[in-house]
Amino acid sequence: MRAWMLESPSQVALEGTAAGPLTLREIARPEPGPGEVRLRVDACGVCHTDLHTAEGDLALPRLPIVPGHQVIGTVDAVGPGVADVPIGTRRGAYWLRRACGTCAACLRGEENLCERAEFNGLHGHGGYAEWMTVPAAYTVPIPERMESHAAAPLLCAGVIGYRSLRLADFHPGGTVALFGFGASAHLVLQLAARQDAKVFVFTRGESHRRLARELGASWAGMPGDEAPELADSAVTFAPAGSVVPQALQAVRPGGTVAINAVHMSDIPSMPYSLLYGERTLRSVANLTAQDARDFIALADRLDIRAQFTTYPFTAANEALQDMKASRVDGAAVLDVGGA
């Protein structure tokens, strides 16, 4: 089968025709082990975490590795012990590949903080390939009406955005500010707006501001602009520490800022007055299997749809390049099944 391999991390060029960090290889089709299913991949979302992986911002536990963790595929083989995932069904695989189930975090129901957690596209080969294997317990059924390419970004951008919104103490009917407007933020906007919230979006790109308004934002402006009012909650998506003081400044006393980033630059020194007034600042780390199940069900009920640009399977490096340069409105998706 064909698979995109990261053999050594390197910087993704913003412009030009540089080869890119990924190499298309022919490798053996994987066989599912105990408790695993094999997916014939239809589509795989391209995530900012893939960019951090390709550029070496994250510690890489193994190389070479196939990136990709927003995967929609059809089950075509199951390993020993799998009885509840029929062959021929569509399933989604997400960032969390498995958790140990026995550490203190897992016993608290916080498998996203598991000391021995493994992640797709980091510890195990991911969805930038024609087939992948994944533990069945860490897949989610995909509703019939969700088209595969539109559903793929829901599996990380959507799920982690859903978790971020909860950790920002969001309440239906409230006001939430979003900083940065990529794949995750455009899904969070829909989730909040369809629960009668006012959503303020801060983003540099004019096309991103236009999309935000089209999707229901009450206001969209540049970072540094002043929104119509202070928000109850804020979520930051940009991997830049400089946005954190801006977000704290945008929430009311008692409000909460959640940082949605697996990697970001240092947060600059800031006056205590930005945090004072019982404001809360917290990070968001990974997701749980329950988060995935809950969000996919909610997205189906609320008809949350990803805006996406499809890239041919052979254009994985170009997709990463466009993402780094903020040339993608919404999400980028690899068309693996059409390869």
Tell me the per-residue pLDDT of 82-136, one tens digit each, with 9 for 90 and over: 999 999 999 999 999 999 999 999 999 999 999 999 999 999 999 999 999 999 9
Q: What was the pLDDT predicted at 14?
A: 81
Q: pLDDT tens digits for 180-196?
A: 998 999 999 999 999 99
Domain 159-283 has CATH 3.40.50.720: yes
Write out the CATH class of domain 2-156+288-293+305-335.
alpha beta
Cross-strand bridge partners of residue 39: 75, 132
Residue from 264, 261, 250, 129 nearest 198 by CA: 250
Is residue 309 pLDDT above 70, yes or no?
Answer: yes
Q: What was the pLDDT predicted at 263?
A: 87
Q: What was the pLDDT predicted at 16?
A: 67
Residue from 68, 77, 90 nearest 30 by CA: 77
Taking residues 53-65, report their average pLDDT.
95
The span from the CA of 206 to the CA of 199, in Å, is 17
Is residue 165 pLDDT above 70, yes or no?
Answer: yes
pLDDT band at 17 (very low <50, low <70, confident <90, very high): low
Q: Which residues contact 53 (CB under 8 A, 6 or more apart)?
A: 6, 9, 60, 65, 67, 121, 122
- Alpha-helical (H) ranges within 223-275 are 243-250
Whole-angstrom CA distances from 60 to 154, 258, 326 are: 24, 26, 25
pLDDT band at 217 (very low <50, low <70, confident <90, very high): very high
Whole-angstrom CA distances from 236 to 43, 195, 248 are: 27, 20, 10
Angle of CA points 326, 289, 139, to nearest 5°: 85
The span from the CA of 307 to the CA of 183, in Å, is 8
Q: What was the pLDDT predicted at 339?
A: 60
Q: Which residues contact 273 (CB under 8 A, 6 or more apart)?
A: none
The domain limits of the chain are 2-156+288-293+305-335, 159-283
Please list, residue by residue across 31-64, b when 16 or more beta carbons sit within 10 angstroms of its beta carbon and e when fewer do.
Answer: ebeebbbbbbbbbbbbbbbbbbbbbeeeebeeeb
pLDDT band at 244 (very low <50, low <70, confident <90, very high): very high
Whole-angstrom CA distances from 257 to 70, 168, 178, 285 are: 25, 6, 10, 14
